[in-house]
Chains A and B, each alone.
Chain A
Amino acid sequence: MDNSLILSYTTFIYFLAFMVYLLGMVMNRAVLSRLGTYLSLLGFTAQTLAIILRWVESYEMGIGHAPFSNLYESLIFFAWTLMFLYLILEWRTKNRTIGAFVTPLAFLAMAYASFSPNISSHIQPLIPALKSNWLISHVITCFFGYAAFALSFGISIMYLLKRLDTAEKNSLFLRLIPSTAVLDDLNYQMVVIGFLMLTLGIITGSVWAHSAWGTYWSWDPKETWSLITWLVYASVIHTRLVKGWKGKKIAILSIVGFLCVLFTYFGVNYLAGLHSYAKK
């Protein structure tokens, strides 16, 4: 079966998982939330299969390479790392409400990859600069970083929502969200994992750039934005560990951090697009 077709199904499954997680929360039905987990696992398994298939397919085409080489493949891999980390988190925390805030991100990434007219799902051959063993380690570390930051973003949104919960409000939806203390702690853990992975991602990128272009750092927009993201999360960690900031401030800073991640990922292309437009 064609890998793109499986990936389209996966997109749909993640959407269903999102709906079911959300309904489970709104209607307070544990059965539905459990169904969400099954759907997530199903989608994740299908996606893993599709990524392996795509990898094999590229070798059959004679242009074999890991499926991390263009925007389509990176979005798919982003959704995969996100679901991977999320499923571990769900298993560790035994709480399914986070699913309602994370599966939509995975769904959006997949949907963007599948349905945007500007993104080609064809397997493309690698240009010489991408032919390097560093491709795999660089992409894996960066995307696990992005995924951890995406989880931190989801958890921060949950934190801000949970703060609206008061005794008199008696909202079922909000009551099911874990306590602010738990969310705060989880958020910090995700930031730490993301920061370590982003650091590794920048370093592997530098080593690669050094062997491809001769300079480990050249201040190109993508590099600079990854540094900006790194600086923002470095301040999250410093405010928390040294200044003792907690809760709302950290949640807001984490959201800002994730916006930087999004800009590093997508916005930079838009910047370049602006330039090429201006040149015409």
Chain B
Amino acid sequence: MKNAQSKNNPNAFWRFLSSVKLTIVLLILLAIVSIVGTVIPQEQGAVEFAKNLSPAMFRLLSTLQLFDMYNAPWFRLLIAFLALNLVVCSINRFPSTWKRFSVKPAPNRSKPFEKNTLEDCFEVTVNGDEASKRVEKILKSGYRNVRRKTSGADHFFYGDKGSLSYFGVYVVHLSVLLILVGGLVGSFFGFEAYVNILEGEKADQVIIRKTMRPLNLGFEVRCDKFSVDFYKTGAPKEFKSLLTFLVNGKAVQKNDLLVNHPVEFGGITFYQATYGSVAGKEAHLRIDRKSNKPVSSEKTVKGNISYPLPDSEGTFKVVDMRNDIMHLGPAVLISIKPKTGNPLEFWVFKDHDAVKKRLPPPMLASPKFNPEAFPPYRFSLTGLKTLYYTGLQANRDPGVPIVWVGCFLMVSGLFVTFFMSHKRVWVRILDQGARAKIEVAGTTNKNPVGLQKELRHLMINLQTEFHKKG
């Protein structure tokens, strides 16, 4: 009793796992839950989306892990379940496939000939034995597993083609597993990181996206030059970084990095992802001193270096340079140390008119945004040198080759499964004294039209063989 039960339970479970109904349910379920992830913004997008949700809704969605659904354990479990189902189904069905593949029907079966018409046979002017030699030669050149049987002066042949096509479906299933394994390998042993490098500078670390932690590369990558081209419409045409890879300070490799043309170094692949610009280290300023005798001077200044004010009333320095601040364009933060009185800091914008128009009055009134905050001086920003930085994606994914092999197998497996069939042919030679009658028939597991073509082709081959030799 106990024995029967313990035997029965795994069987029931095995039956459940090997059912195609489960496959269909899982496929449809995966499709449906995948929809959810396209409707609810994921990861970065989720932050913006979550702001507009009620707290209860937010709690519900985040408990169900719907903001990072494709990485959620339950989603992965669903995929693992499908993989398990696929493995069990394949194991379960393999014996019967093997049987179909390896079974060798008798050469002298008569059933395949039952539906034959006059077009499926022809007569030759040689006897059965001679005819059988030539038939065998033709069959062996085009078919596998050719076997014959002789009864008296009559001869019977069997041959087949495409029996390996039964295994196409296993190749497809294996390919799905390989792609999943490749994905797993990538998520365990790979990483996705990024780094922004200023033109002329170098980096020896990248930031891992998932954890936001830095990762030491073990080498340095320098951006020698960054360039961006635009179309007349203003859309970017091409952006390109000239990279140099350095090991122990020595340049070992130089590459042009373009979008769609990644570069590999030290097992890490670099992709041209984005670019941007930041303020450089030099600003061009005009300083006006209002008085009876106005003085105006222009100066190119470097960051964080003190310069004397034109009338020696103190010193000033530029402590911050921004390419864009509050969407108001370039600005510098000027710090003044007067001879007497308290030091002060204020922003000077390049486009002061825009600032006047767009900054709310209370902010405008603040000395922080007043270029005349230190009277009688007035500072103007006339130019700011900008520097480009290149945004690189730096990835390692050892799973990729496995995924590509999986993709290749999937396409070949699908091709074999859909477009190839197992064709079995029989040829019988009925001896009629000095003459013989040759008849052709066949069966197939699918594609009956293809079989008819095959048989016509075989007939023509046989007929030309006999015509040639008379």
Contacts and interface: CB of A to CB of B under 8 A. Distances in A.
B432 to A, nearest CB: 40
Nearest to B393: A214
Interface stretch (A48-56, A81-89, A173-181, A204-212): A204-212
Contacts of A195: 414
A182 B268 CA distance: 54
Contact of A125 (B23, B37, B231): B231
B27 A131 contact: no
Given A196-B414, A238-B20, A275-B41, A129 B260 contact: yes
Nearest to B43: A219
A268 B237 contact: no
Interface string A130-142: 0110000000000
A200 interface: yes
Contacts of B34: 224, 227-228, 231
B38, B259, B272 interface centre (most CB from chain A within 10 Å): B38
A235 B24 contact: yes
Contact of B31 (A206, A232, A238): A232
Contact of A128 (B27, B260, B262, B404): B260
Given A214-B262, A228-B35, A199 B23 contact: no
Contacts of A275: 41, 45
B400 A127 contact: no
Contact of A131 (B192, B259, B415): B259
A242 B20 contact: yes
A214 B393 CA distance: 7
B27 A213 contact: no
A239 interface: yes
Interface string B425-444: 00000000000000000000
A128 B233 contact: no
B138 interface: no
A217 interface: yes
A271 interface: yes
A214 B192 contact: yes
B103 to A, nearest CB: 20
Contacts of B404: 207
Given A196-B415, A200-B411, A231-B31, A243 B258 contact: no
A216 interface: yes
Contacts of A214: 192, 262, 269, 271, 273, 393, 395
Interface string A113-132: 00000000000110111011
B130 interface: no
A199 B31 CA distance: 16
Interface in B445-462: none
B260 A125 contact: no
A132 B41 contact: no
Q: From B48, B183, B411, B418, name the one whose CB has the most chain A CB atoms within 10 angstroms.
A: B418
A278 B52 contact: yes
Interface string A227-252: 11001101100110011000000000
A129 B259 contact: yes
Contacts of A279: 48
Nearest to A193: B418
B298 interface: no
Given A196-B414, A196-B418, A231-B30, A211 B403 contact: no
Q: Is the interface of B mostly helix, strand, loop or mixed?
A: helix
A58 B379 CA distance: 50
Contacts of A125: 231, 233, 235, 237
Given A63-B231, A211-B261, A214-B262, A224 B414 contact: no
A228 B29 CA distance: 10
B259 A268 contact: no
B45 A239 contact: no
A199 B27 contact: no
Nearest to B175: A199
Contact of A278 (B49, B70, B233, B269): B49
B93 to A, nearest CB: 9
B236 interface: yes
B97 to A, nearest CB: 12
B113 interface: no
Given A196-B411, A279-B48, A132 B39 contact: no
Contacts of B38: 221, 224-225, 268, 271
Nearest to A134: B260
B351 interface: no
Nearest to B24: A235
A215 interface: yes
A203 B27 contact: no
Nearest to A130: B260
B37 A213 contact: no
A212 B269 CA distance: 11
A210 B260 CA distance: 9
Nearest to B89: A242
Contacts of B466: none
A88 B357 CA distance: 65
A219 B42 contact: yes
Contacts of B42: 219
A279 B48 CA distance: 8
Contacts of A239: 20, 24
A213 B393 contact: yes
A231 B272 CA distance: 33
Interface in B242-280: 258-262, 269, 271-273
Contacts of B397: 215
A213 B233 contact: no
Nearest to B30: A231
Interface string B133-165: 000000000000000000000000000000000
B243 to A, nearest CB: 15
Nearest to B48: A279
Contact of A217 (B183, B239, B272, B411): B183
A109 interface: no
A213 B271 contact: yes
A192 interface: yes
Interface in A237-280: 238-239, 242-243, 260, 268, 271, 275, 278-279
B28 interface: yes
22 contacts: A63-B231, A125-B237, A128-B238, A196-B411, A196-B418, A199-B411, A203-B407, A207-B404, A210-B400, A211-B260, A211-B261, A212-B259, A212-B260, A212-B271, A214-B269, A214-B273, A215-B395, A228-B35, A232-B28, A235-B27, A239-B24, A242-B23
Given A214-B269, A215-B397, 9 more contacts: A124-B235, A125-B233, A127-B236, A206-B407, A211-B262, A214-B273, A214-B393, A224-B37, A243-B20
Chain A to chain B: the 4 pairs with minimum beta-carbon distance, closest first: A128-B259, A231-B31, A221-B38, A214-B395
